Amino acid sequence: MMQVDGVFNLNKPPRITSRQAVDRVKHALRVPKAGHGGTLDPDATGVLLVCLGKGTKLFDQLQKGTKEYEGTLRLGITTDTLDASGNVQKVSDVGQVTEEEIRVVAQQFMGEIEQAVPMFSAVKHKGKRLYKLAHQGVALDELPKRTVRVESLEVLSVRPPHVQFRVVCSKGTYIRVLAADIGASLGCGAHLSQLTRTRSGDFTLESSHTLDWLEEQPSRAYEAVVPVDVVFDMGVGTVPTKDGR
């Protein structure tokens, strides 16, 4: 085991959990202690900040940073998980939904908004994880709610039934809830079909590294770990790019 302290900016691949991704980084770099600063759902890709050694003390600081995502919502189909991995609950016609309506409704979700925490999430209710209750078939009369902030929400393209968007938001924002709420406001329902986190605080997708790159050349990967003191100074500094500049 080696003593490595800092943050590794991982481009998480789809179909693995954030915890599984962290374990692979931990194994490749042979470090005894690692965690992540901000969960990504298994199907989501992009920036996952893996904290190593003393870097695990940076969790709170990393969580506070704004997040940026690019994703696609699928109009006309709702699922129990609010994303593509769930069971279909309802299918609706989207033929009457116009691009103008979509853009107008999207703007209604700017600023401070209230979100109901999704049933398939790790949030606890009376000491139990919501997703475990969901798997047991337990239904809650009212889900916990939280207030989050959407700084910007840009519709990039509309190709019915798919809508591509970019969102900048505060920590704790559920993008799949945002997609589902937009669909509900349009009257046709929707779910999140694809999501990539493109930025977390000052860490960007462009400066991230893949698991394949890490596992193929772990000796070079140590150079990609951003030291703890650099992370502390990020309010005035920048994150090193892949070539170290």
Report the distance separating Cα 190 and Cα 181, nearest Å. Answer: 8
Pairing mode, if any, of strands 128-129 and 190-200? unpaired
Among the listed residues 62, 25, 39, the one whose alpha carbon sits nearest the alpha carbon of residue 222: 25
Catalytic residue check, 41: yes
25, 222 contact by CB (below 8 A): no
101, 185 contact by CB (below 8 A): no
Report the distance separating Cα 206 and Cα 185, nearest Å. Answer: 34
**In this structure, how many other beta carbons lie within 10 angstroms of the beta carbon of residue 13?**
15
Instruction: Classify each residue of 209-236 as buried b or exposed e, where b means 16 or more C-beta atoms within 10 Å of its C-beta.
Output: bebebbeeeeeebeebbbebeebeebee
Report the distance separating Cα 201 and Cα 67, nearest Å. Answer: 6
On the question of a cis peptide bond just before residue 161, with omega within 30 degrees of 0, the verdict is: yes
Given 41, 43, 83, 93, which residue is catalytic? 41
Helical packing angle, 175-186 and 99-107, nearest 10°: 130
The catalytic residue positions are 41
